Amino acid sequence: MKHTKVSITKEKRTRSYDPESPISFSDKDIEGIVQPQNHALVISVLVNKFRVKCVLIDPGSSATTIRWRVIEQMGLLDQIVPAVRVLNRFNMACKTTKGEITLPVNTAGTMQQTKFYVIEGDMGYNALLRRPWIHNMRAVPQLSTKC
């Protein structure tokens, strides 16, 4: 039986951030990273003032999901709105949601109310953020059609 550790911590403060400036990385940020790299983008974000680690940014996903155990550790089980949805994975396996919950997500000082589908059991990550969330946070530039 596989066990996945869920880890969240209470965040005390956030750094200042100008929401008009783009999120970018410098050469110093990539020191020690073998290039080119094409690993999945896995980050930590503040969800309802808790630091949630191991969050997958998935541009191909159609649902924003969070694990039941993360919501349980935050003490927010009473805020889950019952809503049964069947989500299909890329391997055609199905997962039924336990409900949905809307929580504030803070990334680099930009706050956005985000509706999560709550999933019980192991899903590999503590949360999964989908493509529209990424674009609403203005974290991914639009691709150019120029060749």
Does residue 116 lie in a domain region? yes
Q: What percent of the chain has pLDDT over 70?
A: 67
Does residue 146 lie in a domain region? no
The C-alpha atoms of residue 89 and residue 62 are separated, in whole angstroms, by 10
CATH of the domain at 112: 2.40.70.10
- Residue 75 belongs to domain spanning: 40-136
Does residue 8 lie in a domain region? no
Does residue 14 lie in a domain region? no
Averaged pLDDT of the chain: 76
Which residue intervals of 1-147 are DSSP H helices?
68-74, 131-136
Report the number of distinct structural domains present in the chain.
Answer: 1
- Give the SS3 label for residue 112: strand
Does residue 120 lie in a domain region? yes
Residue that the structure tokens 């991914």 belong to: 140
Do residues 14 and 70 touch, judged by C-beta distance below 8 A? no
Does residue 107 lie in a domain region? yes
pLDDT: which is higher, 1 or 139 = 139
Does residue 24 lie in a domain region? no
